[in-house]
A and B are shown apart, each in its own frame.
Chain A
Amino acid sequence: MKIQAIVVRILRQFIRDKRSLALMIVAPLLILTLTWLVLDQEAYQPKLAVEGAPAPLEAAVQDSMLDIVDVDDPVRALADSEIDAILEANGQRIHVTVDNSKPNQSEAVKMGLQEALASQSDRQPPDISIEYLYEDNAETTFDYTGPVLIGFFAFFIVFLVGGISFLRERSQGTMERLFAMPLKGWEIILGYIGGFGLFAVIQSFIVALYAVYVLGIPLNGSLWLVILVTMLLSLSALTLGILLSSFARNEFQLMQFIPLVIVPQAFFSGMFSLDNGADWLVYIEYIMPISYGADALKEIMIKGNGLADIQVDLYVVLGFSLLFYLLNLGTLKAYRK
């Protein structure tokens, strides 16, 4: 009942605040479109597992832009994106399985193979067959980063809008007023989650539909799962925004958290490949909520995987939200005194 009152109030406020509403919906579409326009391909040395190839062929592959790696279970390594392709040679026949969830890589694999085979022109040309691991292929860098961007915007915008409106409660004195009412801390936070959650759902719908149907990002999995993931990401963003807003005295100070909290997440969200980076980079990725959401979105949209494959990501994002929620209760309690 009380929570519902907070939800209704937030919805009403938000509908009147046309600019924030526009920010939540239009800004992601705008940036998504711009990214779509500017993103181009990067050079990359694809990793390849080779099975049963004769020595000359293997040497030729080694000399090309391809990198041969030793793995125990190539099929599994390919599914886990540890390698980019498997080359199986059987006499004159060469069969290549390519991970087409990463556009640059699969292009690079094909180019590298052409290069390698061309250097063996003295022999009879082999019979090559190529198989793609996933159905709908992500062809450009944008197809690959699109899912990540959807997650990133859900996080960023909800963090900003939620954090600022919570901060405003304090600066306009209504927080003090709420504390003078028979209202518990968790009711306030849950009210916020309810109110902003609704807008987060609407935002996820519009952004996901736009990305898929207007910009043409491949969607191999379920749209509902995409919405679910962005919703959970928004939840962690909202609880984090509320938490950080209690450490900011005004809107400007909250903005100062963006380079500290949001921008680093962009780097570790999967938009940039960490494959060739230092090992400890991975540990930084572990503490970034966006990286889990982005991973889940890639699994759904590019690989077409279902709930079973993303559930760990979802649990972690939920875990972050729960942690931020509990910290919020603590700060509210401290503030109330």
Chain B
Amino acid sequence: MEIVELRHVSHSFDRQRVLQDISLTISAGGIFVLLGPSGSGKTTLVKTIVGTLTPTEGAVVVLKTRMPSLQTMGSIGYMAQADALYHELTAKENLAFFAAIYGVPKKQTALRIDQVLEDVGLQDSKHKIVREYSGGMKRRLSLAAALIHQPKLLILDEPTVGIDPLLRNKIWGRFADLKRGGTTIIVTTHVMDEAERCDTLGLLRDGKIIAHGSPAALKQETGTDSIEQAFLTYGREKA
């Protein structure tokens, strides 16, 4: 069953065409990685799915509703590229705010906050003001905020940028847990080796999906033994 469906989505900023006729379905219950170099349109594409950007052409359907839909937004967890945290507040206060907006019942809020903080390994810094956090801690808190309302669909825009390999590994382990719990995850990245860990991969270049399939299938199709080489092969074909 598909959870996200893009139909001929194109988007332009002023006269610059950032997304070009993208049609793509993402099925529920897996990890989908959107791989592409910076400037390829990953963030723009993700924003159309999250519903913060309405594409100039085409339609985006998430959980059977056309985006943007405020109601569907309640089932989506979104971690933007910027950390989007309130720096004057503590981790707990930040999460309490997001929980209230997502309508997490008051009685469950404290429990949910503890759970997500544990998920990202920040339980010791619960009462620390975010301004005093390191960059990696802020990324993790951002992830925790995206998880607070147990979303069906989790969309993460470059979640592991600036995070050390050890922690990156841990976060990907956490994604696997969430997936087992039934959450669908969409992750954008420009790091090739992260792409190996997903179920389905979309290769984005210059606003176009140049290839789409499981990592194994893509490698097989191009006769290469790494995603990086597969990406290069597809890139040459299209060019």
Interface residues of chain A, those whose CB is within 8 Å of chain B, are: 1-2, 4-6, 8-9, 12-13, 16-17, 172-174, 176-184, 336-337
A177 to B78, Cβ gap below 8 A?
A: yes
Which residues of chain A are within 8 angstroms of B51 by Cβ–Cβ distance?
A: 179-180
Residues of B within 8 A of A17 (CB): 88
Contact status B89-A12, CB under 8 Å:
yes
Q: Please state if B100 and A2 are interface contacts (CB–CB under 8 Å).
A: yes
Q: Report yes or no: B80 in contact with A177, Cβ–Cβ below 8 A.
A: yes
Contacts of B68 in A (CB 8 A): 336
- What are 14 A-B interface contacts by the 8 Å CB criterion? A1-B100, A5-B101, A9-B86, A12-B89, A16-B129, A172-B83, A174-B84, A174-B85, A177-B80, A180-B51, A180-B52, A182-B71, A182-B74, A337-B53
Extra inter-chain contacts (13) besides given A173-B84, A181-B98, CB under 8 Å: A1-B100, A2-B101, A5-B100, A12-B88, A13-B88, A16-B88, A172-B87, A173-B82, A174-B84, A174-B86, A176-B84, A177-B84, A182-B71
A176 touches B89 (CB 8 A): no
Residues of B within 8 A of A176 (CB): 52, 80, 82, 84
A9 near B97 (CB under 8 angstroms)?
yes
Pair B52/A179 contact, Cβ less than 8 Å: yes
CB distance from A83 to the nearest CB of B (A): 54
Q: Is the CB of B52 within 8 A of A182?
A: no
B103 on interface, CB distance cutoff 8 Å: yes
A-B contact count (CB 8 A): 78
Tell me how far the C-beta of B67 lies from the nearest C-beta in chain A, rounded to whole angstroms.
Answer: 11
Give the Cβ gap from A43 to chain B, nearest Cβ, in Å: 51
Contact of A4 with B101 in the complex, beta carbons under 8 Å? no
B236 to chain A, nearest CB (A): 35
Shortest C-beta distance, A46 to chain B (Å), equals 54
Which one of A1, A9, A178, A337 contacts B93 once the chains associate, using CB atoms below 8 Å?
A: A9
Tell which of A2, A13, A174 has the most Cβ of chain B within 10 Å: A174
Task: Write the nearest CB–CB distance from B138 to chain A, whole angstroms.
Answer: 11
Tell me which residues across on chain B come within 8 A of A182, comparing CB atoms: 70-71, 73-74, 101-103
Min CB–CB distance A209 → chain B (angstroms): 28
Asked if B54 lies at the interface with its beta carbon under 8 angstroms from chain A, I say yes
B61 CB–A CB distance under 8 Å? no
Complex CA–CA separation, A13 to B98 (angstroms) = 15
Using CB atoms, name the residue of chain B closest to A4.
B100
Q: Which of A177, A184, A337 contacts B70 (CB 8 A)?
A: A184
Assess the A183–B52 pair: CB atoms within 8 A.
no
Which residues of chain A are near B100, meaning CB under 8 Å?
1-2, 4-5, 8
Question: Who on chain B is nearest to A2 by CB?
Answer: B101
Q: What's the least CB distance linking A165 to chain B, in Å?
A: 10
CB neighbours of B54 from chain A (8 A): 337
Bound complex: CA A232 to CA B146 (Å): 37
- Chain B min CB distance to A18 (Å): 10
**A180 touches which of B76, B85, B89 (Cβ 8 Å):** B76
Q: How far is the CA of A177 from the CA of B103 in the complex (A)?
A: 15
CA distance A179 to B84 in the complex (A): 11
Question: How far, in Å, is A15 (CB) from chain B's closest CB?
Answer: 9
Contacts of A180 in B (CB 8 A): 50-52, 73, 76, 78, 80
What chain B residues lie within 8 Å of A1 (beta carbons)?
Answer: 100, 103
A9 neighbours in B (Cβ, 8 Å)? 86, 89, 93, 97
Chain A residue contacts of B83, Cβ below 8 A: 172-173
Give the docked Cα–Cα distance between A219 and B89 (Å). 40
Interchain nearest-CB distance for A123 vs B (Å): 75
Nearest CB of A to B80, in Å:
6
For the complex of A and B, 10 pairs with smallest distance between CB atoms: A173-B82, A5-B100, A177-B84, A16-B88, A173-B84, A182-B74, A13-B88, A180-B78, A182-B70, A179-B52
Could you say which of A9, A13, A172 has the most chain B C-beta atoms within 10 Å of its C-beta? A9
Decide: A173 and B80 in contact? CB cutoff 8 A: yes
The interface residues of chain A lying within 8 Å CB-to-CB of B82 are 172-173, 176
**Measured CA separation A202–B86 after assembly (Å):** 24
- CB A52 to nearest CB in B, in angstroms, measures 69
